[in-house]
Amino acid sequence: MNGSVLLLGGGRGLGRSLSRSFLKFGVPLFWVTRSRESLSGFAGEVQEIPGSLFFPEAFDICDRKHALSFLDRIRSRSFSDYPPVLAIHNAGYLSGRLDLSLELQEEVDREIDVNFLAPLFWSRRLSKFFAARGEGGHIFLSSGVARTPRPSWGAYGIAKGATEVLSRQLAVELPPPLYSLTFNPGGMATDMRKLAYPEEDPVTLPDPEAIGEKLALFCLRLMDGEGRKFNGSTLVMEDL
């Protein structure tokens, strides 16, 4: 296996678990989180993993100027050594659970920006990069509310549903062996889940560490040449 992973939204929950697994498996990782605190905290963990190739930055993925600068740097740096061959669009934002008509406009805007417009922006540019190299693909982290709308999920559900459509559109446009797919990990003990379901006992939910390791192993298969087989797929945990 050659190449690296670009992980957007690596600072918390499943993203952090995925990051640990990739580095443990020796996969070079370009890593973006919004918070400098989460960057510095995770960087401390990385120092304990021998031989890690970890290239982190902290910025808002909706900041297009910064995103373009970051993409220019990783493309020029990684063309010959460890080019990104998998983009994982994991960053997400949930303001809370409200019907769409009751959400504040600024929260609607933020949920659409983070959960859909940012993946649209990043994936278009990365797809050009993958096509030029003749390899690469996307995984978009999805949600059950993207596929089956439910009350009180407002703009978050709409944005995740739009991202599912984005992935399917890329799947019909990307030439072989490129690919795009979505993955819904299901419920797990994360801060976002606690915000959505404050009444739940987190000990009754799956640990994101186990889910992250299983997803990372699946990603290794994609990077080893199986990606096109899953092009256009809408996967859940049981499919891995």
**What one-character-per-residue DSSP string does 106-154 give?**
HHHHHHHIIIIIHHHHHHHHHHHHHHHHT--EEEEE--HHHHS--TT-H
Residue 4 confidence class, pLDDT cut points 50, 70, 90: very high
**Which pair of structure tokens corresponds to residue 174?**
């990307």
CA distance linking residue 224 with residue 228, whole number of Å: 11
- Average of per-residue pLDDT across 42-63: 87
Residue 1 confidence class, pLDDT cut points 50, 70, 90: low
Task: Identify the residue with better confidence: 218 or 52.
Answer: 218
Percent of the chain at pLDDT > 70 equals 98
CA distance linking residue 30 with residue 9, whole number of Å: 11
CA distance linking residue 87 with residue 51, whole number of Å: 22
pTM over 0.85: yes
Report pLDDT for 88: 98
Task: Identify the residue with better confidence: 134 or 202.
Answer: 134
- Average of per-residue pLDDT across 75-80: 66
| 78 and 84 Cβ atoms separated by less than 8 Å | yes
Percent of the chain at pLDDT > 90 equals 74
Closest C-alpha among 144, 140, 150 to residue 186:
144
- Average of per-residue pLDDT across 14-32: 94
CA distance linking residue 82 with residue 8, whole number of Å: 17
| 174 and 231 Cβ atoms separated by less than 8 Å | yes
Region label for 40, one of left (φ > 0), alpha (ψ between -120 and 50) or beta (otherwise): alpha
Counted residue by residue, the chain has a size of 240
| 171 and 212 Cβ atoms separated by less than 8 Å | no
Amino acid in the structure at residue 232: G
Tell me which residue has tokens 């990069």. 129
Tell me which residue has tokens 């690596």. 10
- Average of per-residue pLDDT across 53-72: 94
Residue 80 confidence class, pLDDT cut points 50, 70, 90: low
